[in-house]
Amino acid sequence: MYEMLSLNNGLKIALEHIPHVQSISIGIWIKNGSRNESRENNGISHFIEHMLFKGTDKRSAKEIVESIEDIGGQLNAFTGKEATCYYVKVLDSHLDLALDVLSDMLFNSKFDEEEIEKEKSVVLEEISMDEDNPEDVLSNIHYEGLFGKDSIAYPILGTKETVKSFTSDELKQFLKKQYTPENSVLSISGNFNKSEIYNLVNRYFGHWNNSVSHIDYNKPDIVNKNYFVKKDIEQVHLSVALKGFPIGHEDVYTLLMLSNLLGGGSSSILFQKLREELGMCYSIYAYPNSMVNIGNLYIYMGLNKRYVKDALDAIEEEIKKFSNIKLSHEKLFKAKEQMKGNYILGLESTSSRMFANGKAALFLNKINTPEEILSYIEDINHESIERVMKEIFIPGIQNIALVGSDYDLVLNELKDKYEILNYKI
């Protein structure tokens, strides 16, 4: 059973009642991430996420995690470009406690100056770890190559300089401005008492003050620069971007299916061509990423620096051939069945269902039921495939990003096709 409710303060509640399980997953979703930030406070959303675990007026940092872990539950959070989510998974008998802990963190966190200074060291180490990981570096520079100085390109963790600058007052003011019920969703999936759930949620979240209007994002300009970061590593890590669709677009499921065919697994076109036939890489895959009013399709691979030009030529050739492909009814049927199977298997977890419902309610103001999702997949046809091919695959590659040790070699190899800029971190 799926239901969307709202408290009087505007907080949306996305409910999925699953009576045959004994667990429950709860997530409080805030439409706030690095895309809401300025260059000066970049990373503040992620830092606030950390600080909500560092102690409240009635629980220490240790007591926050112990209160959930001592009953066999899980408590965690994540920050993305457009949303922050704090979530708990517990036995259904502990729903009341889970809501109590989440609301306590949200409304009563202390933002103690001493704890802030300690946590700065933790986040600075996290940034250093990010900088040591070539795939993380690649992702960050590719966003900047696509979107330039728009906030959508800001790193989620921020920079070492911005993180060092945060103060308690600054964190509290940002939280007060961005964390509002109007811009939030409480997603609950699992076994609960349907007749009591509204009053229970209202007890913990009904007093939340709604002082700020709805938050929206401007559509970013597309810059399409090609960046290379020099790093002393053996492989070159390569990311290729094509156009994509924003979240909620009618053709996102068609694009997902085509992305799976192109680079979604070991039987995909790119895997079979570049790894199995040409032996150029160990890993290659494609995936779409949909955000508010913008989206892209990415292709990632890690390979020897000697193969970069040949690999890009092969990818371009396969995209060109793929854009003119005519799927047989049998191939289309199999592709849709694969998508359905992957989706249905993901429904086995109350957590995955809570995440899906929360994200849909936050950005689309609705819950997509399994029946609706399967219907969207079933509705993929040759007409929608032709639309996506024309809009996404026929235009081809927008830009590329690379991380590796030999900028001069790559620059020389690609100079006839791409202007490669040396990006200094």
Amino acid present at 16: E
Pairing state of beta strands 84-91 and 236-243? unpaired
User: In 3-state terms, what secondary structure has residue 190?
Assistant: strand
Q: Where are the beta strands (DSSP E) in 48-106?
A: 74-79, 84-91
The answer to whether residue 49 is catalytic is yes
From 16, 37, 49, 115, the catalytic residue = 49
Cβ–Cβ under 8 Å, residues 365 and 409 = no
How many whole angstroms separate alpha carbon 201 and alpha carbon 272? 50
Q: Residue 83, class by beta-carbon neighbours within 10 Å (0-12 exposed, 13-18 middle, 19+ buried)?
A: buried
Largest CA distance in the chain: 68
**Helix 329-346 to helix 370-378 angle, to the nearest 10 degrees?**
160
Q: What angle do CA 288, 293, 39 make, to 5 degrees?
A: 95
Beta bridge partners of 90: 24
**E strand or H helix at 53:** none
Element (H, E) at 382: helix 382-388
Torsion angle of C-alpha atoms 18, 19, 22, 27, degrees rounded to 10: 30
Q: Which residues are catalytic?
A: 49
